[in-house]
Structure 1
Amino acid sequence: MKKLLLFVFIVQLGLSAKATEGMWLPLLLSQLNEAEMQSLGMKMTAEDIYSVNQGSLKDAIVHFGGFCTGEVISSQGLVLTNHHCGYGQIQSHSSLENNYLQDGFWAGSQAEELPNPGLFVTFIVRIEDVTDAVLENVTEDMHPKERQSWVDKNLPGVEAAAELEAFQEAKVRAFFEGSKYYLFVTETYRDIRLVGAPPSSIGKFGADTDNWVWPRHTGDFSLFRIYAGPDNKPAEYSPDNKPFKPRHHLPISLDGISEDDFTLIFGFPGRTEQYLPAVAVEQRVEVVNPVRIGIRDRALNVINAAMKADPGVRIQYASKQSRIANAWKKWIGESQGILATGGIAKKQAYEAEFAQRVKADPDFQKRYGGLLPEFERLYTEMGPYIKANTAVGEIAGRNIELFTLANTLHSIVKMYDSSGAPMVDSRMGRIADFIDRFYKDYSPELDQQVFAELMAYYFEEVEPQYQAPFAVEQYVNAGKTGEQLAKIVFAKSRLPKPEALKAAMEQGPEAFVKLIREDYAYALVRSISEHNEQGAEQAYRKLKDEIDALQEQYMRAQIAVFPDRRFYPDANSTMRVTYGQVKGYAPKDAVRYEPVTYLDGVIQKYVPGDYEFDLPQKLIELYEAKDYGEYGSEGKMPVCFIGTNHTTGGNSGSPAIDAHGNLIGLNFDRAWEGTMSDLNYDPSICRNIMVDARYILFIIDKFAGAGHLIEEMDLVHPKAP
């Protein structure tokens, strides 16, 4: 019976879906998507995209650092990804003397390429359907906890049974809320070197103002190289390693794009939640996002002012500010997009039809009739808990660096308590490295200002019953002002002072742990976190577990109740293919956005001396001379373009591939109006933003003078007669 249900499930997947929507598993393209993709203009077959028997597109795609995507664009292991994906590495190599963030970096030879400890890329070797093995002994009517217990028992054996080379790994991931399971066999390379990056005035042009916005004019790219051992297999860093030779690398098209051209995005999208009920989306818009946005508003106001005032702080906080601002602006666009497109009302209409179909079928009514009312009850009950828990997470867990340091040190205290001083002593080298990295890019003065703002929010906006008594006592003693509390904490705490921690470490684990335990900031953040853990978070987690179990049932219910609807799995950082077309859009009345931007627009935005819109003089000179080489088009230099591909976080750095399998662009963002695509894809305004491959080549060749990198790429003209 189970196999029959799964067979029906797969058949249902292929029946209907809006073109361009969805994040599809590459091994299922031949069953589900190939014909539709070809109807949109694709000239390839599914085997060209994903094959285990011969080199295919998937062999050029890498999971970059576990958080972005990259693609191999030469036979010598050259990897292209976004500037913002390589930002941390570029920053780590930067100083006031060699400011690669500001000035860019271009290795003149392979000997000059810079190693990046801790950075890795992962290839997918093959994907296998292991649903039957994982769900062995699982039945349809089994309680969710019993079901999960069997899955947990079966998973290790399934992974252990995978046929692997010594340097390969296997991992099983769940799809459709646990209705399907696939095994991914991977190869990971850990010697990754920085090859090239444009200055931030190109790679981050527009910075926060243009982030998530179209029209866009950002050259968001960087170059790395994979190095391997003498056998071309993964190896730890060694100066004797050689450039990796891939099974496949992407040729680069010089022919550019036109509206309605086919586009394929290949990558590792992080997380989407397409199948949430309307009440969950409504809670996101009305409760969760306002808390997140309000807290980060305060943090960013402080950080942005400090970065504008001090070039040193700008280098220190460039990556941190980008991380904080990226999510902040995304949440704003997500809420606005859902409201603008009536996303909640559409889900409510969908649920009304679901309820009508369920009511008309006695079996459905028995199994699924209570799902939607139960969602309503659980989300309503969870409202105050999720609001408080979200606020504490943003304040105590993410945006006050002193607290994030204290939280990390808390893990050392727990290690000491559970395993003793010898275990801590064995980790002292790693701890010292972490502390050095933390203080390298830390400004106590700036963090104190952020602390003052966010703790004021904590006491003004979080409901009193969710405020920690110890924290309230300290706030009262400080005259009930965040600024005064910040002064006291940063004066009394030893954590903002690296020399204090290092001195304690030199005395041994006991002295180090004693310093942490007795620290004022540590005591304050632990009181806030523990009060939240025992109150709002505990209540939230209990309800969330019930909601997750209900969501599993709702996913299976939707598939059963809507047999004519095509469902695709939510993103979960596994390899996916999305496809669409180059298209403009009209976000509001009397406004129409064209699908391509040009260097003319970069010059129009140019503001000398402005940290977001300044430009290198050489780029201006190339524009004035119209010196675009073979990369220009009809006297203009294309910069970015948009398409209808369904993307999300993790697709940063994904290749935009044309109908023939050539690189035409580099995915790096979404249009602000459509950032709600994680919850509700709407083809009218959901657009992904890509750097035109020709602009990338132009910057490498004409701007940077790194023609030796162009020479190792394959440049093609697929549109030529």
Structure 2
Amino acid sequence: MNLTVKKCLIAAVAALTIGSAHADEGMWLLQLMKQQNSIDMMKKQGLKLEADDLYNPNGVSLKDAVGIFGGGCTGEIISPEGLILTNHHCGYASIQQHSSVEHDYLTDGFWAMNRSEELPTPGLKFRFVHRIEDATDLVNQKIKAGEVDEVHAMTRPFLRKLAKEQLEKSDLKGKPGIEEEILPYYAGNKYYLVYYKVYSDVRMVAAPPSSVGKFGGETDNWMWPRHTGDFSMFRIYADKNGEPAEYSADNVPLKTPKYLPISIKGLQENDYAMIMGFPGSTSRYLTESEVKERMAAQNQPMIDMRGVRLEVLRNAMAASDKTRIQYANKFAGSSNYWKNSIGMNKAIVDNNVLGAKAEQEKNFNEFAKGKPEYEGVVEKIDAIVEKRLPLNRQFGYLREALSGAIEFGSPYIIMDNMKQALEEKNDSLLQVSKEQLEKIFKDVHNKDYDHEVDRAVAKAILPALAKALQPDELPDFYQTIQTKFKGDYNAYVDDIYDNSILSNRENLDKFMKKPTVKAIEKDPATAYSRSKLEKLVETSKAYQEASADLALLHKAYIRGLGEMKQPVPSYPDANFTIRLTYGNVKPYSPRDAVYYKYYTTTDGILEKENPEDSEFVVPAKLKELILNKDFGRYAMADGTMPVCFLTTNDITGGNSGSPVINGEGQLIGTAFDGNWESLSGDINFDDNKQRCINLDIRYVLFILDKLGNCKHLIDEMTIVE
């Protein structure tokens, strides 16, 4: 090799390495930081800590101050007494769970003045990552031995069974609160076994009123500038030995081995920022055809069907405080990704994601020449997508409308068992079925369900679904609507909601007193549910058959893309496992002549205030504090009060509530959103436009102190000034 060529190659490798050091893309695996040299890249951007400070498999590290909050968010520990900080929208279901017309914590907020006032929250859990083990060789051995094929090795049933077997062999067997999970990474090219330590006594400690925690509502969701005080606080309780335990009055606050100190020193543009959390799902390695499929078969059905339901709920909630509280969490959850889907489809076009994917495929095809394991992979993926797209779209609409929007139905399998028991005079089966039916009734008619609201949703959704799909794509009950009810959707829905066995307590009691085969066969909800489920199962099965071989093609495609990038490391798609992303505090310019600063202040709250709009109401006490500039030690040097700030961190759903940490390992904020212009980021990261919207920890402390009068909570934190 001549010296000139050698120098060029060295320069090319150096450019790749340096480029990766300045790119903020990547949801990196903690267990691979040293192997992938990501710690060096982070230090170049301002990290002052060592790799073992972030993740130490043999000791305490930042990892031990972060966990899964509930079922889909991240939370961090901010005191030695197990105090959790997460987002308001992450705690929203729990706040709603405790709310009633008499105690409307959603509207008024909640502040526990002492430990005895902290509210037990049944069903809420907090999961710490206890240990991570590489399970790749284990899975590959099972494949090699013929115990499982490559495709089924990636499936949850197989991996759950394998994880359970490993727990039984480990030193963690029988220890309280331990849960296990094996998941595929890099599309099945790697596998990791994660052990979690799960605490199930988690109590609500503090939540600002929704006029703070949800300020801006739907209008500001996914938008910048932002002025939302999106936080809530909870506390982990354990038994006297610090071990996980179900709720007991004898439980005590968990003495945590690691918690995050809090910095109120302030932020400057380009400051280092890292986020540790549990991003839920990304699809960064899709082909161009798969992105088009995502737009048409997943996003558009969500936009169309959720839009119909949300309009019904919006009107019902505006008319009744009881309904508003009942449906607050359902509405928020549905609305969030309804708007996300709108923004994603727009951003895919605006940011030329399809062009970027086409370029990636072109480069891959060049790389694949002469490599049998990679040649033709993209074309084979495209062929499968073309075949399954109509089925995927059909299933998307059916799922959103019939499984997502309408709640009422009948457990037809239980009804079939009851019918069999009556025909065979099987008293034992009849009694079991009765007990099951009683439980189903209570589950359906729970405190957060309104039969009339759901009836109104059904009347709006069923005709909307009929317009979206072809007649042969619809369940058979649509034929009943046309024949028996002469196309009258309202009459069909009323028949189900008035006359079904599970429609109300009177109908159920009458049936239970004298159950008959005839009553079961005539039950309209049972016929509706059977028809709905049969069509969903039929469509899902056809979709799965059409998708055969896609998993192995993705495995090859992602492996090849990784080889193309070497020596620059690659990260796997998010799968709700712990990740670290790093970046900087930074403004952005979304379009010509528009420039956004990297932070907002309370001045913007008063600028947005509109007493006539529930999304922009400002509490009187907060307004007074802002006008008087009564910000205490939490203000910036110029006396203004920060609210939110921007970083270039790579995040997605699941990162909500994640700690934003400076280069010294101190908490500076909590992540809660992404910006509108980059909602295609789950598919294709854009360095120029991608921003993470974070709540400044100084605003959290200000609200906690001045609005909530919770100085006792601040006193248990470690504050760095």
Give the TM-score normalised by structure 2: 0.90
Task: Tell me, yes or no, if the aligned pair for 2:154 and 2:184 is still in contact at 8 Å.
Answer: no
Which residue of the partner structure matches residue 9 of structure 2? none
Amino acid paired to 1:379? V
Whole-Å separation in 2 of the counterparts to 1:430 and 1:227: 30
Amino acid paired to 2:221? N
Q: CA deviation at 1:498?
A: 4.4
1:462 equivalent to 2:469? Answer yes
Q: CA deviation at 1:426?
A: 7.3
Instruction: List aligned pairs for 1:452-491, cutoff 5 A.
Output: 452-491=459-498
Task: Tell me, yes or no, if the aligned pair for 1:134 and 1:158 is still in contact at 8 Å.
Answer: no
Q: CA deviation at 1:702?
A: 0.6
1:465-494 residue CA offsets vs partner (Å, 9 max, x unmatched):
112233222244434243343333323334
Which residue of the partner structure matches residue 3 of structure 1? none
| Range with bigger deviation, 648-657 or 299-308 | 299-308
Label 1:86 to 1:254 Cα distance change in 2 as closer, same or farther (>3 A): same
1:221 equivalent to 2:231? Answer yes
Which residue of the partner structure matches residue 684 of structure 1? 688
Amino acid paired to 1:628? F
| Range with bigger deviation, 13-22 or 314-323 | 13-22
| Range with bigger deviation, 510-519 or 22-31 | 510-519
Q: CA deviation at 1:155?
A: 5.1
Consecutive unaligned residues in structure 1, runs of 5 or more? 1-12
Q: Which of the numbers 443, 456, 461 marks the counterpart of 1:434?
A: 443
Label 1:315 to 1:270 Cα distance change in 2 as closer, same or farther (>3 A): same
Q: Which of the numbers 155, 163, 168 marks the counterpart of 2:171?
A: 163
Task: Tell me, yes or no, if the aligned pair for 2:126 and 2:198 is still in contact at 8 Å.
Answer: yes
Whole-Å separation in 1 of the counterparts to 2:720 and 2:522: 65
1:350 equivalent to 2:356? Answer no
1:438-473 residue CA offsets vs partner (Å, 9 max, x unmatched):
431222222222111210122222111112233222
Q: Which of the numbers 177, 191, 196 marks the counterpart of 2:206?
A: 196
Instruction: List aligned pairs for 1:420-431, cutoff 5 A.
Output: 420=429, 431=440
1:522 equivalent to 2:536? Answer no
Label 1:192 to 1:146 Cα distance change in 2 as closer, same or farther (>3 A): closer
Q: Which of the numbers 31, 46, 54 marks the counterpart of 1:27?
A: 31
Task: Tell me, yes or no, if the aligned pair for 2:54 and 2:62 is still in contact at 8 Å.
Answer: yes
SS of residue paired to 1:368: coil
Q: CA deviation at 1:216?
A: 0.8
Whole-Å separation in 2 of the counterparts to 1:175 and 1:220: 31
Whole-Å separation in 1 of the counterparts to 2:664 and 2:118: 32
Whole-Å separation in 2 of the counterparts to 1:570 and 1:502: 51
1:594-627 residue CA offsets vs partner (Å, 9 max, x unmatched):
1101111111111114211111100000011100
Whole-Å separation in 1 of the counterparts to 2:634 and 2:476: 64
Label 1:161 to 1:250 Cα distance change in 2 as closer, same or farther (>3 A): same
Which residue of the partner structure matches residue 591 of structure 1? 594
SS of residue paired to 1:42: coil
Whole-Å separation in 2 of the counterparts to 1:79 and 1:121: 9
1:125-154 residue CA offsets vs partner (Å, 9 max, x unmatched):
221222222211546999634766997686
Q: CA deviation at 1:199?
A: 0.4
SS of residue paired to 1:219: coil
| Range with bigger deviation, 385-394 or 23-32 | 23-32
Instruction: List aligned pairs for 1:254-269, cutoff 5 A.
Output: 254-269=264-279
| Range with bigger deviation, 177-186 or 480-489 | 480-489
Task: Tell me, yes or no, if the aligned pair for 2:312 and 2:457 is still in contact at 8 Å.
Answer: yes
Label 1:454 to 1:427 Cα distance change in 2 as closer, same or farther (>3 A): closer
Sequence identity (%) = 39
1:120 equivalent to 2:125? Answer yes
1:549 equivalent to 2:556? Answer no
Q: Which of the numbers 314, 326, 331 marks the counterpart of 2:341?
A: 331
1:358-385 residue CA offsets vs partner (Å, 9 max, x unmatched):
12xx2x1x22222111111111111211
Label 1:140 to 1:284 Cα distance change in 2 as closer, same or farther (>3 A): farther
SS of residue paired to 2:569: coil
Q: Considering only aligned residues, what root-mean-square deviation do their CA atoms show, in Å?
A: 2.7
Consecutive unaligned residues in structure 2, runs of 5 or more? 1-15, 422-427
Q: CA deviation at 1:229?
A: 0.2
Whole-Å separation in 1 of the counterparts to 2:349 and 2:310: 25
Task: Tell me, yes or no, if the aligned pair for 1:471 and 1:527 is still in contact at 8 Å.
Answer: no
Label 1:151 to 1:242 Cα distance change in 2 as closer, same or farther (>3 A): closer
Which residue of the partner structure matches residue 7 of structure 1? none
Whole-Å separation in 2 of the counterparts to 1:624 and 1:517: 67
Which residue of the partner structure matches residue 12 of structure 2? none
Whole-Å separation in 2 of the counterparts to 1:709 and 1:513: 61
Which residue of the partner structure matches residue 263 of structure 2? 253
Q: Which of the numbers 84, 91, 94 marks the counterpart of 2:96?
A: 91
Task: Tell me, yes or no, if the aligned pair for 1:14 and 1:566 is still in contact at 8 Å.
Answer: no
Task: Tell me, yes or no, if the aligned pair for 2:262 and 2:667 is still in contact at 8 Å.
Answer: yes
Which residue of the partner structure matches residue 573 of structure 2? 570
Q: Which of the numbers 396, 411, 421 marks the counterpart of 1:390?
A: 396
Task: Tell me, yes or no, if the aligned pair for 1:127 and 1:185 is still in contact at 8 Å.
Answer: yes
SS of residue paired to 1:585: coil
1:40-97 residue CA offsets vs partner (Å, 9 max, x unmatched):
1111111111113332111111111131111111111111111111111111111111
Task: Tell me, yes or no, if the aligned pair for 1:40 and 1:262 is still in contact at 8 Å.
Answer: yes
Whole-Å separation in 1 of the counterparts to 2:145 and 2:591: 46
SS of residue paired to 1:174: strand
SS of residue paired to 2:403: helix
Count of equivalent residues: 691
Task: Tell me, yes or no, if the aligned pair for 2:273 and 2:649 is still in contact at 8 Å.
Answer: yes
Which residue of the partner structure matches residue 652 of structure 2? 648
Which residue of the partner structure matches residue 661 of structure 1? 665
Task: Tell me, yes or no, if the aligned pair for 1:83 and 1:197 is still in contact at 8 Å.
Answer: yes
Whole-Å separation in 1 of the counterparts to 2:568 and 2:443: 50
Amino acid paired to 1:322? A
Q: CA deviation at 1:553?
A: 2.2
Instruction: List aligned pairs for 1:393-432, cutoff 5 A.
Output: 393-403=399-409, 406=410, 409-410=411-412, 412=414, 420=429, 431=440
1:705 equivalent to 2:709? Answer yes
| Range with bigger deviation, 413-422 or 262-271 | 413-422
Label 1:518 to 1:162 Cα distance change in 2 as closer, same or farther (>3 A): farther
| Range with bigger deviation, 424-433 or 74-83 | 424-433
Whole-Å separation in 2 of the counterparts to 1:473 and 1:339: 41
Whole-Å separation in 1 of the counterparts to 2:169 and 2:86: 34
| Range with bigger deviation, 489-498 or 90-99 | 489-498
1:540 equivalent to 2:543? Answer yes
Task: Tell me, yes or no, if the aligned pair for 1:585 and 1:685 is still in contact at 8 Å.
Answer: yes
Label 1:538 to 1:54 Cα distance change in 2 as closer, same or farther (>3 A): closer
1:447 equivalent to 2:439? Answer no
SS of residue paired to 1:592: coil
Give the TM-score normalised by structure 1: 0.90
Instruction: List aligned pairs for 1:58-207, cutoff 5 A.
Output: 58-136=63-141, 138=143, 144-145=150-151, 156-164=164-172, 166-167=175-176, 168-207=178-217
Task: Tell me, yes or no, if the aligned pair for 1:456 and 1:481 is still in contact at 8 Å.
Answer: no
1:188-242 residue CA offsets vs partner (Å, 9 max, x unmatched):
1111111110000001111111111111111111111100101011111000111
Whole-Å separation in 2 of the counterparts to 1:517 and 1:162: 52
Which residue of the partner structure matches residue 535 of structure 2? 531
Label 1:413 to 1:635 Cα distance change in 2 as closer, same or farther (>3 A): farther
1:244 equivalent to 2:251? Answer no
Whole-Å separation in 2 of the counterparts to 1:528 and 1:432: 19
1:400-425 residue CA offsets vs partner (Å, 9 max, x unmatched):
1224xx3xx35655887899457657
SS of residue paired to 1:612: helix
Task: Tell me, yes or no, if the aligned pair for 2:408 and 2:454 is still in contact at 8 Å.
Answer: yes
1:505-561 residue CA offsets vs partner (Å, 9 max, x unmatched):
7x6xx9599977753123113213313422x32221112343223212222232334
Whole-Å separation in 1 of the counterparts to 2:287 and 2:150: 19
Whole-Å separation in 2 of the counterparts to 1:415 and 1:158: 38
Task: Tell me, yes or no, if the aligned pair for 1:449 and 1:483 is still in contact at 8 Å.
Answer: no
Label 1:125 to 1:401 Cα distance change in 2 as closer, same or farther (>3 A): same
Q: Which of the numbers 365, 368, 378 marks the counterpart of 2:374?
A: 368
Amino acid paired to 1:524? Y
| Range with bigger deviation, 253-262 or 443-452 | 443-452
